[in-house]
Structure 1
């Protein structure tokens, strides 16, 4: 897995990614900070289709470094009142377009081993569990009390 490229350009055309039940509305673009291992990312609100009603958030991180092995390329959360409707999986399928547009062929998605809902989301989109790994002590998530991560790989190309 290669490091994040030194030069990066955000792509246009992803302000609103339309789905059937949900859309993704671009909240902001976060530049990478190479010195501390942060890669560029697009952060989207997950909204009910055709509205501005936010039901969650998803981000896609472009590039690869050691932090992303543990934190993943795609992170998502769905508000409690909207859980159980498959919105996280639907949002992953929509945000996939951004990753593919940046030339990514696979994406890592990680979650805590006890997070059954997130594991189900990964399985629903066709991601495959590669490993359950211990977080290294120098990782931010470790310092926040987390100890292990499931690492799923999702093939983005058909």
Structure 2
């Protein structure tokens, strides 16, 4: 069955908006699922202050890599923009009938851990990344696995 991307050109929030910059189809050979990629902007602006993506579906890779990835430019950190962007993605997850998502980060990434806590995600455990995983090859040996119930 072919995946259908839905219309999420702009997702508006109170302080920030998400502007769709691209969609990426899944790749069965690489075990990748389809994804939406957004710029994070201050409301009514088009200047990116960061980015966020959401991967749609479930597979073993997402346990370690997570469904959501985000980054906020250094000058804009400390305002909970990453967490607010995650909360805006609830609309995308809901539209694709996803009730829970994994959000992962490195154990020493305190800002990402606080983002997960801010959105109400629960830390399931800290796990070793398997040696055959791409993240392990890049030097990421452990991951915090958070579960976010987004319904």
Confirm or deny a common fold (TM above 0.5): yes
* Aligned residue pair count: 151
Task: Indicate whether 1:155 and 2:149 are aligned.
Answer: yes
Matches within 5 A, 1:1-158: 6-12=1-7, 14-157=8-151
Structure 1 outlier segments of 4+, above 2 Å = none
Q: CA deviation at 1:7?
A: 2.8
**What's the C-alpha RMSD, in Å, of the aligned pairs?**
0.7
Instruction: Give the structure-1-normalised TM-score.
Output: 0.94
- Structure 2: stretches of 5+ with no match in the other structure: none
Instruction: Give the structure-2-normalised TM-score.
Output: 0.98
Q: CA deviation at 1:72?
A: 0.3
**Secondary structure of the residue that 1:63 maps to in structure 2?**
coil
- Structure 1: stretches of 5+ with no match in the other structure: 1-5
